[in-house]
């Protein structure tokens, strides 16, 4: 096996595809999910039984649940992939403080806490990879998704800053920034909306979870060992 990888948000469309890719490549996996236990069960059934070391449920907006998950992970974690997330589409002036706190906890504070917990052993071993699935909106921003854009921008900044701090210790930190991907997060869009967006994408198609997983696979490989603090776009040129 190539090493133990914690996938945070393994039950989502992109998370599942990343898990499948890494399983084929010989990684041992620790899978986090929040609510979609049926998707996790279905995913595990499709994998070699020896691939999954453990499955952990936690609401990442709860300090207690995060700590419970961390306490229950008894295996060494050599890499972390953060896929978990939630978009919020709303006018900024109509966004509640509760939603602001929720989005900050989910996208920023939870990854801080989880990374902090596993980082020192990576530094001690001069080995480890941390990958964030961020968003195109974290770089350019989106109307009606101001809070989501803000927290994804915070993830991008975290990647760039932490990579400088831990680079001398051999820990690699990078991000993958998807554009318009065919996931449940975009299912609220109608057919006309999708057609209009695709017309703006030079490759003239919607991105697939597999497209994101392929880049994660590359970053996890030794071929990417001189890439540090980068945010790789997976947008079809959008």
SS (H, E, C) the chain: CCCEEEEECCCCHHHHHHHHHHHHCCCEEEEEECCCHHHHHHHHHCCCCCCEEEEEECCCCCHHHHHHHHHHCCCCCCEEEECCCCCCCCCHHHCCHHHHHHHHHHHHHHHHHHHHHHHHHHHHHCCEEEEEECCCHHHHCCCCCHHHHHHHHHHHHHHHHHHHHHHHHCEEEEEEEECCECCHHHCCCCHHHHHHHHCCCCCCCCECHHHHHHHHHHHHCHHHCCCCCCEEEECCCC
Neighbours of 1 (CB within 10 A): 12
- Using the structure block, give the residue that is written with the tokens 């919607």: 206
Neighbours of 102 (CB within 10 A): 17
**CA-to-CA distance for 58 and 191, rounded, in angstroms?**
34
Residue 85 contacts residue 9 (beta carbons within 8 Å): yes
The set of catalytic residues is 148
């Amino acid at each position: 096996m190539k090493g133990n990888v914690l996938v945070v948000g393994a039950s989502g469309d992109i998370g599942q595809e990343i898990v499948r890719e890494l399983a084929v490549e010989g990684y041992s996996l620790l899978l986090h999910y929040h609510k979609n236990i049926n998707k996790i069960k279905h995913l595990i059934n499709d994998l070699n039984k020896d691939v999954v070391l453990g499955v952990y449920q936690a609401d990442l907006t709860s300090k207690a649940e995060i700590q419970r998950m961390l306490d229950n992970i008894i295996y060494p974690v050599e890499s972390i992939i953060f896929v978990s997330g939630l978009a919020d589409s709303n006018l900024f002036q109509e966004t509640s403080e509760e939603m602001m706190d929720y989005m900050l906890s989910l996208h920023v504070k939870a990854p801080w806490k989880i990374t902090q917990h596993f980082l020192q052993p990576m530094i001690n071993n001069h080995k480890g990879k941390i990958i964030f699935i961020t968003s195109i909106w974290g770089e350019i921003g989106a109307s009606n998704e101001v809070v989501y854009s803000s927290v994804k921008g915070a993830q991008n900044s975290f990647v760039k800053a932490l990579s400088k701090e831990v680079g001398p210790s051999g820990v690699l930190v990078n991000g993958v920034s998807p554009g318009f991907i065919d996931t449940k997060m975009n299912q609220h869009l109608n057919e006309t909306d999708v057609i209009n967006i695709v017309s703006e994408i030079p490759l003239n198609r919607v991105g697939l979870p597999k497209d994101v997983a392929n880049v994660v696979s590359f970053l996890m490989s030794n071929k990417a060992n001189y890439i540090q603090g980068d945010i790789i776009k997976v947008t079809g040129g959008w």
